[in-house]
Amino acid sequence: PKGLPLVRDISHHIPLHSDSKPVQIRPYKYPYFQKMEIERLVTKMHHSGVIRNNTSPFSSPVLLVKKKDGS
């Protein structure tokens, strides 16, 4: 797709059980060139509004996957 979808005025909430504990998975170790690419992509998505800062106690690792065209 080219560009971002239209902004929707929808607030999403996932109800949790009172005894649930946050899932916290440690980040993977990346080669330097992948770490730099992840930082570049995250910065780009943050500046364009695709992602935003979050204070959630939940976390999951990032994984880079090459496309069929090698990019």
Task: Give pLDDT tens digits along the chain (71 positions).
Answer: 677 777 778 888 889 898 988 888 888 888 999 999 999 999 999 998 888 888 888 888 888 888 899 87
Spatial contact of 64 and 34, defined as CB atoms under 8 Å apart: yes
If 0-12 CB within 10 Å is exposed, 13-18 middle and 19+ buried, where does residue 61 land?
exposed
Residue 12 lies inside a defined structural domain of this protein: no
Q: Residue 48's domain spans which residues?
A: 23-55
Residue 5 lies inside a defined structural domain of this protein: no
Residue 14 lies inside a defined structural domain of this protein: no
Return the pLDDT at 38: 92
Residue 2 lies inside a defined structural domain of this protein: no
Residue 29 lies inside a defined structural domain of this protein: yes
Return the pLDDT at 1: 60
Which of 64, 24, 23, 57 is CA-nearest to residue 42? 64
Residue 44 lies inside a defined structural domain of this protein: yes
Residue whose entry in the numeric block shows the structure tokens 């999951």: 60
The count of domains in the chain is: 1
Return the pLDDT at 32: 92
